[in-house]
Amino acid sequence: MAAQHALTEEATKTSVVLPLLQALGFDPFNLSEVTPEFIADVGIKKGEKIDFALKIDGKIQVLVEIKPISQSLGSSQYSQLYRYFGVTETRLAMLTNGRDI
């Protein structure tokens, strides 16, 4: 994948993350396995959504947060993902910009 083609978060989802989820054995088109835009409200902040929640045996086990390839991954992105752990039972997550995971 050429970086110049995945400039948006949606492009990164389509060209990098969905194929990766399939390679890991998940069916990204099966909502009982992969929930897009999973609501993970944090405190008084409502409408917080994680890009994907992956289910194993019907329970959410993995959170996936995606950023555009043009965005570096740093402490603010890691902090955002960490906040979601407080409102879900999962302890495994993936943060990616399509280049770094």
Query: How confident is the model at residue 35, as a pLDDT?
Result: 94
What percent of the chain shows pLDDT beyond 90? 42
Rounded alpha-carbon distances, angstroms, from residue 53 to 28, 33, 44, 60, 70: 10, 8, 21, 6, 23
Residues for the chain: how many in total?
101
Taking only the tens place, the pLDDT of each residue in 29-50 is 999 999 999 987 766 667 778 8
Quickly count: other Cβ atoms within 10 Å of residue 43's Cβ: 9
- Predicted confidence band at 6 (pLDDT cuts at 50, 70, 90)? low
Q: What is the mean pLDDT of the chain?
A: 85
Q: Above 50 in pLDDT, residue 2?
A: no
Taking only the tens place, the pLDDT of each residue in 83-98 is 887 778 888 999 998 8
